[in-house]
Chains A and B, each alone.
Chain A
């Protein structure tokens, strides 16, 4: 599998710095599961973090912190939280949000061939899964803010290109597109946006508004 579309380097730097919010971190981490190339970029940005830490001013801890920590080294470590991972079609970062089977997600159908599943909304960021049957799509739309989309299964095509499993798309208010799911299996994407989409079709706009899409 070769990934053709990647998140921008400046976004990977922010993720490495700890500067992205939970929604953005989730979609970046899910892409990293599919993409060795971006994992290397994140590792390089983290090396910059290490260098910044190394050159940080040294501010000694108050009291006898060294002794306090040395005396706790024999304390039993808290048990690891994560159970071993079983084979699944859900990348590990997403499992905390949707479980380990895409088929068992409770989808809400909003139009012919299109279902969605809201995951969470925090601050301005909303996170959802969108599922399209082959040949269907959410219709012509643009974006009030930034939207990131990551293809999890199947594929889709719009004026900017073709997106398959692991591919990333960043869209901004200047992109008006009509993504359509490719033939074959259903296309499921993870989408993170900082504002609701703007649909050209008022019927879809109304449904989308109703569902908080």
Chain B
């Protein structure tokens, strides 16, 4: 690792995989330095107090250490996986709600169709592509995406706060999702 240049998402994903397979503390430390301040910032934007955001960011990092074995670099990048952990921790600890999820081991699960295996290279470029798609959203689309991710507002609440018809909020989010999808499907 070269400390002078900004860490690449691909390096973070490789480090997280190493934590999962080798319980590597040095790798975890690098992940902590990179992600803990970002997770804290995400929690602050969601409305957590400074003290709570500190506690939960630490809790998130411990969860990452404990669950790292379950991380599959073929399925998600480190930042995506860590986002889902921080999101779930916030809903559980602050909203005090359940967030039901499908269980990959559920006997009732209808399995994925056969898809060509993702190579690491594809995954890395996906990361860049989704970030670039987000910067290309219109101001109106970016606003409703931000309100979804950083304020956890449902459509009806966004409509109320922006004084827009519900259908307008939905169509802006739908267009944003179409952009994200096409960036990841490689035809953007």
Judge whether A47 and B36 touch: CB under 8 Å. no
Judge whether A59 and B37 touch: CB under 8 Å. yes
Interface size on A, residues (CB 8 A): 72
Docked CA distance A49–B171 (Å): 19
Judge whether A49 and B83 touch: CB under 8 Å. yes
Judge whether A19 and B90 touch: CB under 8 Å. no
Interface size on B, residues (CB 8 A): 83
Tell me the A residues contacting B by CB distance below 8 Å: 1, 8-14, 17-22, 24-26, 28-30, 32-36, 39-41, 43-63, 65-66, 68-70, 72-73, 77, 82, 84-94, 96, 166, 194
Q: Could you show 27 A-B contacts with beta carbons less than 8 Å apart?
A: A9-B173, A9-B178, A10-B170, A10-B177, A14-B154, A14-B155, A18-B88, A20-B154, A26-B98, A26-B100, A29-B102, A33-B102, A36-B113, A44-B181, A47-B76, A47-B80, A50-B77, A56-B45, A59-B41, A60-B37, A61-B37, A66-B29, A66-B32, A73-B62, A87-B108, A91-B106, A96-B100
Tell me the B residues contacting A by CB distance below 8 Å: 9, 25, 28-29, 32-33, 35-42, 44-45, 50, 53-54, 57-58, 61-62, 65-66, 75-84, 86-88, 90-91, 97-103, 105-113, 126-127, 130-131, 133-134, 145-146, 148-156, 170-171, 173-174, 176-178, 180-181, 184
